[in-house]
Amino acid sequence: MNLSSYDRNFGQVVESAKQEFGYQNYLLVRECVLQMLAESSGEAALPSHYWEEELAGFDYLLDASPLIIRKLREHSYHITGLKSYEYRHHHAHKAEPYRQKLAALRAVDASDLFVAEAPLLGGFGHEIDGVLVNIDTLKFYESLIALDRAGALVPLKNAGTRPVVVEIGGGWGGFGYQFKRLLPNTTYVIVDLPQTMLFSGVYLKTLFPEAKCFVYGEGGHKVPPLPLEHYDFVFMPHFSIDDFKPERIDLGINMISFQEMTSEQVTGYARWFWENGCEFLYSHNRARSAHNNQLSDVAVLLTQGYQLKPFEVLSMPYTVLNVPSQIPWASDPKKMARQLLQRMLKPVKKAAGSHLDYRHLFGRRKSRFEGGNA
């Protein structure tokens, strides 16, 4: 192929990508994000030191080409650290620990909650049983099992009115995708730093093309113009929550991001949930990240407004893949299911453990909020 024909074909590829739904969603979301950034000011709107550095790493997405948006998941490593390179075909020999971890989770899943990584927008993972699986896939699956064990999912499925779920720090939108696939009659609200919505907003609007969505600033509105039950997804910047007062919140969620915030920010979110009548709050976090010196302890801060109960899904954190293969009974699915079920039913020890331990915590709202900053 000579240079001129390559230029012509490349131009056609770019023009085609410009017309794709993902890029059109990006243009809309970007306009809203730029407005959010223009409005964001003051000490309360500042991210933690950790997130200041992370956000600077993907500011180029404010000027993304259609081909970048076509492979948006390739760039979400800025949020998760997860790179598609590790899951390419020449690394297929590394898939077995993922297969075993998936089998271990399925053995303790009583409600068929597994949702695979979607291939759209550059989705990636090891191919297992014909679907894509990566660490995020397994992490989200584990959290869904924890929520099911806590008794949170069945009431939402059977609710007479459309339930409202609010996730603080929705990242690239992966958990929202899985949750909405399982509970489609849910209004899923993401509250996050504006720049991250270049991932979550574009991703979820593209994977659910028929969904009714509201992004802060859209149509000049700073709160949804219709009641929340009219929407599938709502995207709100973190600095707007003082003015965002839902009539009800059925479940609050935070996964692997409270641990990156400041004590003041975590307390602020806990208070916001409590003041807006959120009856149940789920956290999958460490007490704090090792590098975060602006945070005391996530659980201690959340207990100001919520009575927390820990739930164990597996006896290893989501970051560990190879432990099941080291267990003598791991090769026997029936023994694996029995042993894991016995471990699940054991009371979780109340020993403090390391601040680096990930914990599934499910909280019920207290009658009063018991303090300010801890």
pTM of the model: 0.89
Q: Flag whether 87 is in a domain.
A: yes
Give me the number of domains the chain comprises: 1
What average pLDDT is seen over the chain?
90
Q: Per mean pLDDT, which range of 88-97, 104-113, 320-329 is the poorest? A: 320-329
Which of 51-55, 196-200, 260-264, 333-337: highest mean pLDDT? 196-200
Q: What percent of the chain has pLDDT over 90?
A: 79
Q: What percent of the chain has pLDDT over 70?
A: 87
More confident residue, 325 or 292: 292
Q: Flag whether 2 is in a domain.
A: no
Q: Per mean pLDDT, which range of 52-56, 122-126, 259-263 is the poorest? A: 52-56
pLDDT in tens, 11-67: 899 999 999 999 999 999 999 999 999 998 766 667 878 778 888 899 999 999 999
Query: Does the pLDDT value for residue 133 go beyond 60?
Result: yes
| Whether 294 contacts 328, CB under 8 Å | no
Q: Flag whether 127 is in a domain.
A: yes
| Whether 282 contacts 254, CB under 8 Å | yes
pLDDT in tens, 267-289: 999 999 999 999 999 999 999 98
Q: Flag whether 371 is in a domain.
A: no
pLDDT at 338: 60
Q: Flag whether 10 is in a domain.
A: no
Instruction: Give the pLDDT band (50/70/90) at residue 252.
Output: very high
CATH of the domain at 203: 3.40.50.150
Q: Flag whether 189 is in a domain.
A: yes
CA distance 332 to 337: 9
Domain ranges, residue 314: 24-365
Instruction: Give the pLDDT band (50/70/90) at residue 347.
Output: very low
Segment 153-178 shows an average pLDDT of 97
Q: Flag whether 347 is in a domain.
A: yes
Q: Flag whether 17 is in a domain.
A: no
